[in-house]
Amino acid sequence: MEPHAGRVRPFPGSLTIQREPGGPGVLCLAGEIDSAVVAEFEKRQGRRPVVVGAIDAGAVTFLGSAGLAVMVRYAETAARVGRLPVLRATSATVDRLLRTAGLEDYFPRSRGTPPAGQNRTGSSSTP
């Protein structure tokens, strides 16, 4: 029996790969990315990551270890072909987890896209 068979409520978050014309896709994370959301994504997409050129995690409100593992797997897959996907956007939740896990420098950021909560000079926007 599948753990999510007959699920009535929608998942609290989403993981998708948005295709972009003429280039690699974008791994998009939004909402609460927990193990159930990751399991549903892997059921649709498969467990083998594809090469993506960017990750957009700007709308994430919760990122569990399973969601972080997906980000790392996709980054490692891209690194095998000589590129790391850039972080186009992150939420404060994602930035906090990346910092805690010691991965804040693992994912290059898009030019001009500072971590959430920082201004473009790199200083904190909170007093």
Q: In what order do the strands lie in the sheet with 52-63?
A: 13-20, 23-33, 52-63, 86-90
Domain ranges of the chain: 31-100
Over the stretch 48-82, which tens digit does the pLDDT of each residue have? 889 999 999 999 999 999 999 999 999 999 999 99
Over the stretch 28-39, which tens digit does the pLDDT of each residue have? 999 999 999 999
Over the stretch 80-126, which tens digit does the pLDDT of each residue have? 999 889 999 999 999 999 999 999 999 999 876 556 555 444 444 44
Q: Sign of the C-alpha dihedral, residues 6, 10, 13, 18?
A: positive
Instruction: Name all contacts of 116-125 with Cβ < 8 Å and 24+ positions apart.
Output: 116/58, 116/90, 116/91, 116/92, 117/92
Comparing C-alpha atoms, which of 32, 42, 29 is closest to residue 10?
32
What's the predicted TM-score (pTM) here? 0.80
| Residues belonging to the chain | 127
Dist. CA 122–CA 88, nearest whole Å: 16
CB-based contacts of 26, cutoff 8 Å, min separation 6 = 17, 18, 20, 52, 53, 54, 55, 56, 88
